[in-house]
């Protein structure tokens, strides 16, 4: 049976209560869940833990991960200023405490590791949260206090762990803004999405010039930022791969393009996501007017050395294929 770790925090600062403590304590120990991405259902066992609002609490999960594992980890914390729940996608390499923690520690403007922020590998952007009944924000700012520290330490430990374990942080507003009942429902929904793997259809465009194929680098605020890929994106439910590609090229590069031919379909399974990539050879007369809206850089790739770029894993077989074939 899959096992999940669900954590919350106790009161801190001026907060007499922390809804995340109430949620964790009243959460069932056995939970039936259904695959939100397809068929299948399972019973899940939930290990519940209320963390102390201090360094010990922030390190607890990371320390436990040295000798054990779970199938998913979901941390909950209170965000006093928030009005809607926030799924945190990034743990910042920073601690800057406006108030002391529950052990009296107050650190100002320090780095947690000095090695940079850590992004969750869980593909939350593929969950379609815009269409959920609950209002939710996706956030890249988990704060600079104990919640962020906890998220950072857990991800640091997960990056060294032998298993790929999905982990997220959910910041909840106080219970007068979002009831314990609604927040608990949201936690259940998130766990179901974390325990099953979404499958995604993607359309990718390959522009060819005398300098090779066009590769793009993902921008700062994108998941897997800094990785190289081909322009394109998700095929929506009611779209053909071709229509999706032309729409994505318009959104990402601000150009109208034309499809020359289909190059193939490639499959790849990441630890938390399965992707099927439909690749097309494309051209555009508006190439000169290109504006990058989600990427930070572009590059023409033509030689085996270009395989050394930090590619999205799923794209590597495509790059190998393109460099081998003479168009």
Q: Which residues bind ligand PCA (CB under 6 A)?
A: 9, 12, 18, 20, 53, 77-79, 143, 145-148
Query: Considering beta carbons, is residue 174 or 302 the nearer one to ligand PCA?
Result: 174
Upper half-sphere CA count for residue 249 (Cβ side, 13 Å): 30
Query: Shortest distance, CB of residue 78 to ligand PCA, whole angstroms?
Result: 4
CA distance 199 to 39: 12
Query: Shortest distance, CB of residue 103 to ligand PCA, whole angstroms?
Result: 13
Token pair for residue 247?
């729409």
Task: Give 281's contacts (C-beta < 8 A, 6+ positions apart).
Answer: 206, 208, 259, 260, 261, 262, 263, 327
Query: Shortest distance, CB of residue 47 to ligand PCA, whole angstroms?
Result: 19
Query: Shortest distance, CB of residue 312 to ligand PCA, whole angstroms?
Result: 32
Query: Shortest distance, CB of residue 97 to ligand PCA, whole angstroms?
Result: 9
Query: Shortest distance, CB of residue 9 to ligand PCA, whole angstroms?
Result: 4
Task: Give 39's contacts (C-beta < 8 A, 6+ positions apart).
Answer: none
Residue 205: which of 234, 232, 244 has the closest Cα?
A: 232
Complete DSSP assignment for 260-321: EEEEEEEEEE-SS-EEEEEEEEEE-TTGGG---SSEEEEEEE-SGGGGGS-B-GGGHHHHHH
Query: Considering beta carbons, is residue 11 or 271 the nearer one to ligand PCA?
Result: 11
Query: Considering beta carbons, is residue 6 or 53 the nearer one to ligand PCA?
Result: 53
b (16+ CB within 10 A) / e for 27-55: beeebebeeebeeeeeebebebebbbbbb
Query: Considering beta carbons, is residue 55 or 126 the nearer one to ligand PCA?
Result: 55
Q: At residue 316, what are phi and psi to the nearest 5 degrees?
A: -60, -45
CA distance 28 to 48: 9
Query: Shortest distance, CB of residue 134 to ligand PCA, whole angstroms?
Result: 19
Task: Yes or no: say if 275 and 314 are a contact pair by the CB < 8 Å rule.
Answer: yes
Query: Considering beta carbons, is residue 145 or 228 the nearer one to ligand PCA?
Result: 145
Query: Considering beta carbons, is residue 144 or 306 the nearer one to ligand PCA?
Result: 144
Token pair for residue 105?
């520690």
């Amino acid at each position: 049976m899959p096992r999940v770790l669900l954590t919350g925090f106790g009161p801190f600062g001026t907060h007499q209560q922390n809804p995340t403590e109430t949620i964790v304590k009243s959460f069932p120990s056995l939970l039936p869940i259904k695959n939100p991405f397809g068929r299948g259902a399972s019973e899940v066992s939930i290990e519940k833990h209320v963390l102390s609002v201090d360094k010990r609490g922030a390190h607890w999960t990371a320390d436990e991960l040295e000798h054990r594992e779970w199938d998913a980890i979901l941390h909950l914390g209170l965000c006093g200023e928030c009005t809607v729940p926030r799924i945190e996608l990034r743990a910042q390499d920073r601690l800057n405490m406006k108030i002391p923690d529950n052990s009296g520690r107050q650190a100002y403007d320090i780095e947690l590791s000095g090695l940079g922020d850590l992004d969750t590998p869980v593909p939350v952007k593929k969950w379609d949260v815009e269409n959920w009944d609950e209002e939710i924000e996706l956030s890249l700012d988990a704060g600079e206090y104990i919640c962020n520290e906890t998220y950072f330490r857990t991800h640091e430990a997960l990056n060294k762990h032998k298993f790929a374990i999905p982990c997220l942080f959910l910041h909840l507003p106080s219970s007068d803004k979002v009831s314990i009942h609604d927040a608990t429902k949201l936690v259940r929904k998130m766990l179901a999405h974390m325990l099953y793997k979404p499958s995604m259809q993607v359309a990718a465009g390959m522009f060819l010039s005398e300098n090779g194929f066009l590769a793009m680098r993902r921008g700062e605020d994108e998941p897997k930022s800094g990785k190289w890929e081909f322009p394109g994106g998700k095929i929506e439910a009611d779209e053909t791969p071709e229509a999706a590609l032309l729409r994505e090229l318009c959104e990402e590069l601000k150009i109208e393009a034309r499809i020359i031919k289909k190059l193939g379909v490639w499959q790849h399974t990441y630890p938390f996501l399965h992707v099927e990539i439909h690749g097309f050879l494309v051209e555009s007369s508006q190439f000169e007017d290109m504006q990058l809206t989600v990427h930070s850089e572009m590059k023409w790739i033509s030689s085996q050395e270009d395989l050394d770029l930090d590619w999205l894993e799923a794209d590597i077989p495509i790059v190998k294929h393109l460099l081998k074939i003479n168009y």
